[in-house]
Structure 1
Amino acid sequence: MQRIRDLLECVWPAALEAAKWPFRSATWVAALTVVVRRDGGDLDRTRRLGLARFERAVRAEVTWRGKTRPCLRIVRRLFAALTDTAGVVAHRPAVFEELEWTLADWDDARSKLTDVEARMVSVLDELEVTALVASIDGLSPVGAAAILAQTGDLTRFTSARAVVKHAGLAPRERKSGTFTGKARVTGAGRPQLRVAAWRAVWGCLQTNRVYAARYRHLTSRETNRLTPTQAQTAVAAAILRQLYAVVTQQRAWDPVIAAHGTNTWRETMGVTAA
């Protein structure tokens, strides 16, 4: 994505302004693909197609990419950008050729990623734990599979804390003689497990009310207030503990149990523990 952005900024910067988040938009990617593959950087020739034919070509590309229909607002903005002369116009043919190769590589990488993620989830299906791990709000089956790929069979751990220590997310005090320092995350353990747990944090903070409330509490409390990074680390450790619990106990995730029934969370969320 960065390579495509760099190339467009050199020869056709107006294309990047056709969508707010261009690389997240299937319509924008499809429209750019049509422009790049059709006329090799000759934007005037593409413009002579007319808006209606351009929309049909983009619609076909969007359908090929597995989407139902394009966002016509983005299509029309990109079509209007065909008249823009900003950038190094003389280099457009060569740069658009490289763009075509880069888009092909990107499509290939995304196809392989989709295949790998499908196989990851199929392993969870075989183990009959997909519904259990997906019961944790904000944790996708792919995210859970990435974590379990690093932990292996969770039943081999004696406790949830052992899983957290295995990831290197358990805080430990630094002691030397009579000196006792602050408790810090050790960093020992499996780095890839830490990465998988860390990535799971972002989805959980967006959609999981328990972890979002815990994050707000940790970063706003008066005593021992944590930095955002420290709070995210604490949430990552909590996700590992809850994943261990639901898998080993074969019970769906319970937000009240996950919140440990604390008054802080109940007051924040307006929930009464059973």
Structure 2
Amino acid sequence: MTPEEVLQKWKPHVQRGVGLKRATKLVEVANKSVGIEVGIQFAKRELDCLLDQYELYKKQLAQLDEELEGVVESIPGAKQMTNIPGLSHTTIALFFAEVGDLTKYNHPQQLVNLAGLSLREHSSGKYKGQTRITKRGRRRLRKALYLAIRPLVAHNPVFKALHHYYTNRPDRPLKKQQSLLPCVVNYYVCYLPLVRNSVSLMD
């Protein structure tokens, strides 16, 4: 293959940083390559099979996402979450898979405890340690909540303002990662009553 032919192959896929000089250098290096030359035909066949599998998985994933979206819409309380900018149907499904029916909870603290997000001071004798979450709860629920809070903090005006307050308050400002915890707790405090009263957070 000539440098000109290589350049023609590149152009439909690469818009910047390619030219005849780079194509010429690639051809020169390829001609001096000590790479394996046997089995090229089956190597190409294997690559084609892998690409076919990739396209199949991508198609199946799109179908699953579509089905998941329909299932999420049918879950009591999920409607309020889908109206919140920044939350995906996958994150919402993971959340409800862990907490179940939200109408069975009477107080947001029950959900905080379920996720193992309650605060506890690690102290011993005269030593006063740091206050951290207990993690005595569902690990996958904590993951779902952090997956939910990150896009909310980035894209939702309410949680973005809340995150800014916790990280910039005059008295003991939190680090960015630390501020996610009170954001999660505030999310519970706001969200649970809305579900019980069938009201959207965006209303």
TM-score (norm 2): 0.72
2:169 to 218, 221, 230: 221
1:85 aligns to what SS in structure 2? Answer: helix
Task: Say which structure, 1 or 2, has more relative contact order (CA 8 Å, 6+ apart).
Answer: 2
Equivalent positions of 1:38-187 (< 5 A) are 44=2, 47=5, 50=8, 55=12, 75-77=14-16, 80=19, 83=23, 85=26, 89=30, 90=33, 91=35, 100=48, 102-127=50-75, 129-174=77-122, 181-187=129-135
Q: Quick one: which amino acid aligns to residue 247 of structure 1? A: V
Q: CA deviation at 1:87?
A: 11
Structure 1 residues 85, 45: CA separation in 2 closer, same or farther (over 3 Å shift)?
Answer: closer
Asked if 1:236 corresponds to 2:177, the answer is no
* 8 Å CA contact 1:124, 1:145 repeated in 2: yes
Counterpart of 1:47 in structure 2: which amino acid? E
Structure 2 gaps of 5+ residues are none
TM-score when normalising by structure 1: 0.56
Structure 2 Cα separation of the partners of residues 128 and 158 of structure 1: 16
Specify every segment of 5 or more residues in structure 1 that has no aligned partner in the other structure, as ranges.
Answer: 1-42, 56-73, 256-274
Amino acid corresponding to residue 219 of structure 1 in structure 2: T
CA distance in 2, matches of 1:211, 1:87: 55
Q: Write the distance in 2 (CA, Å) between the matches of 1:174 and 1:240.
A: 25
Aligned residue pairs, count: 193
Structure 1 residues 226 and 114: CA distance shift in structure 2, 3 A: same
Would the aligned equivalents of 1:172 and 1:185 in 2 still touch at CA under 8 Å?
yes
Taking only aligned residues, the RMSD between alpha carbons, in angstroms, comes to: 3.8
CA distance in 1 between counterparts of 2:28 and 2:47 reads 15
Note closer, same or farther for the CA distance 1:113–1:188 as it changes in structure 2 (3 Å cut).
farther
Q: Distance in 1 between matches of 2:104 and 2:118?
A: 18
**C-alpha spacing 1:166/1:87, structure 2 compared with 1 (3 Å):** farther
Task: Determine helix, strand or coil for the equivalent of 2:136.
Answer: coil
How far does residue 154 in structure 1 lie from its aligned partner after superposition? 1.1
More helix by share: 1
Alignment partners' CA distance in 2, 1:87 and 1:102: 29
Deviation sequence 1:228-272 (CA, Å, 0-9, x none): 2111222233334444333222101048xxxxxxxxxxxxxxxxx
Percent identity, aligned pairs only, is 23
Higher mean Cα deviation, 223-232 or 188-197?
Answer: 223-232
Q: Which residue of 151, 156, 173 corresponds with 1:203?
A: 151
For the pair 1:192 / 2:140, whether they are aligned, the reply is yes
Deviations 1:191-250 (A, max 9, x none): 111111111122112211111111111112221221221112222333344443332221
Q: What's the CA shift for 1:100?
A: 4.8
Largest Rg, 1 or 2: 2
Aligned twin of 2:199: 251
